[in-house]
Structure 1
Amino acid sequence: MTQPPKKTRKISPDTLTFIHTADLHLGSPLTGIRAMDESMAEKLIQASYCAFDRIVDLAIRDEVDFVLIAGDLYDSQRQQIYEQLKLLHALERLNGHGIMVYIVCGNHDPHSAWSRSIRWPGNVHIMADDRPEVVFFEKDGEKKAAIVGVSYPRSSVLENLATTFPEKESGWPFTIGLLHATLGSTSEHVSYAPCSEENLTATGYDYWALGHIHKPAIVRQADPTIVYPGIPQGRDIGESGPRGCYHVAVRSDGTIEPTFVETAEICWETATLSIDGIDTLSDLDVAILDTLDDIQETRTGSQVCCRLTLTGRGEVHRDLSRVKGAIDDLADHLREVGSEVYIDRIIDQTALPIDREALVRREDLIGDILRISDNLQQDPKAAETFVPLFKDLFSDKRGKKCDPISPEEIPDLIREAETYLLDLLQPEERV
């Protein structure tokens, strides 16, 4: 297993340091792995545990003061013995290095579902579930931080828990709110313990360690600093991109420095390759491998699992569409050639090349479509015309789960519509 990066700068003795993580989802059933080769399937099964091991390694290597885990350590209320003992041993490693761990339970692992047969080591403090609990972290006999947190008593918590947190008292040191919650509105997750930024700032705390949203984000830089670390290990292609935790340093002058550290054992990525100008399978093979190499260079230390979409128009489309299963054969070949990037799936959105200049001069429906497309793409007011037309699409229950279309996306949508209509109206082009 690749180790986390070594310390890049010396930490002053009077600096408070901690790791902020959340949403470990230990025991999460990763989807689609059975169709993959056996070795990749095993890597995916172990990925969430490996990511947490990297977090523990980072905490030990950087000699942090404590670790914060903002909910959803387990993926299910019915925890298996395997994930319980894996978590126990990881926390015992931190205990062996004198590193405290403060935990709140989330919607996937409410406090009531935690096993009573596991004796957690003395460095672990799981926050109460009836009201926010205040715990002080002491170092050299001095209170260095106040951690205020509350666990979920049940899986579905729909009330605003942030409003139950006490205000920071005058004698408290650097104060951290530890909460599994939905800040603002989101279409990606169920709004458990919904709250506003104003709810958090009203407490007077210095840092809010949040969990529940799987995409890492520094929501607010200061007064207070509000952070979502995201999920340390993406579970499927929908959780692509960098995944990790935050290493936070609090300087003696009160400056807060959160640094994102990637921890994913498997990094999910999406990529698009146009076949414009690609005439042969040999050229396509080289172009894909070059694309995969470029992806791997940006993800040193992680196994990359990529979903590749082929777009554009080129003669190689004939080879891709001539035989049923050609795309699956191409994916199988790429998995076998030794590329460090594992192909999850290839999506074919290609078509045969066309003489667009000749088509645009035609006095028929195809010519009309192309001329209208050109005019719309050149019209700066086209976006103002189209955006309101999509309003109803995003007003129903399903539409609210999608991001609304922005004016900047309109030209691309027009080009996609043009390609789609040409494919429908030129059946002779299909092989």
Structure 2
Amino acid sequence: MSGFAALLTAREIPPTIVDGVREHIASRGRHGLSTETSGPCVLLHSALWTTPESTAERQPQRHTNREFWLTADARIDNRRELRTTLHGHVRHPLETDADLILASYECWGQRCVDHLIGDFAFAIWDAERAELFVARDPCGMRPAFYATTENGFVAASTIQSVLAVIDGSPTIDEDYLIGYLADVTPRDRTIWNGIRRLAPGESLVANESGTRVWTYWQPDLDSHDLSLTETAETVRRLFDDAVECRMRTTDGVSSQLSGGFDSTTVTATAARFTTDLQAVSLIYPDFPGTDESAHIDAAAAHIGLDPHRIDGGKLAPSDPSAWSTAFGEPLYSADAPDTAACLEAAAASGRSVLLIGGGGDDLLYGSETATFDLVMQRRLVSAYRWAANDGLSSGAATAYF
């Protein structure tokens, strides 16, 4: 993942603030750190090249013929479709993912996000309209935070970059803290008052009139008239496409293999697309009740892999205070050391991409928009069940509903 930031202000931004923002996106990329200024907007980018096309990118990037500037943390997956659709209709190259985002903005403006498939968070400074456009992908795979401060508007990949623009000490959002402790964290807020998180599937525009945020994507909950066989074939095709998209890399792919259904399916699918797949597995030999070694061995033998095994019982536990200091927000996952260890193993073998088979059910059942959509469609029983599947008891689901 790369890092991006954009600052918009009517006055000159002190160099110390720009330096602070740059410092806190630097850790997200090791292939270059750049800054560009266009009128009242300063754009910053920290590059991590993980695809063959990304090595040709130099962001922040200006459109060839228009006064559009892009800084992005993005991987666009429907490249072939976009190139076919945009060819002959835009004046910008269609080679890199950054090119495709800028060309899509040229063609469709703020509706460009309706045509982009992939993992992305980006900011486009439209100097012709004097406004900053920011968007985040529907699944929220790339982070984006923003705030209106004494020094102007800022959007960035990290909370720490936003904090660098704020004068004085920010205050804690107590409502968010309560939600965090109750495990019902608001999707669009952060622990800090005034600093917002762009929610998955949201866009915003910032200009001299203020900031406007809207949702451009919601789950499609319409019924589909498919047989069981057709449904299975459709799911398999879409799943294959999703995994294959992530195989487009400069230096190989690793996949976390736990022996569970999610990770095994992802790893087995990835192995069909490459002969150079590294599997990474966490084992717990000293904890027989939680050790999945037997499942891992069976899955690995079936797929034809020899996983790199990490003894999870010897990993140091997370330090919540150190995490909060480093990232500017609370620790959200107790298994962060496990994920970090798998990432380190992938990096040690020279691979920039690690596939992790988890979170799909959380993404769907954790979506508040799904409950509201069902209510608006008057599918009240389904909405109640969805709320209950969100981890709520029957009584809590009733109260929530």
Task: Give yes or no for TM over 0.5.
Answer: no
How would you bin the TM-score normalised by the shorter chain?
A: under 0.3
**More helix by percentage:** 2
With normalisation by structure 1, the TM-score equals: 0.24
With normalisation by structure 2, the TM-score equals: 0.26
Larger Rg: 1
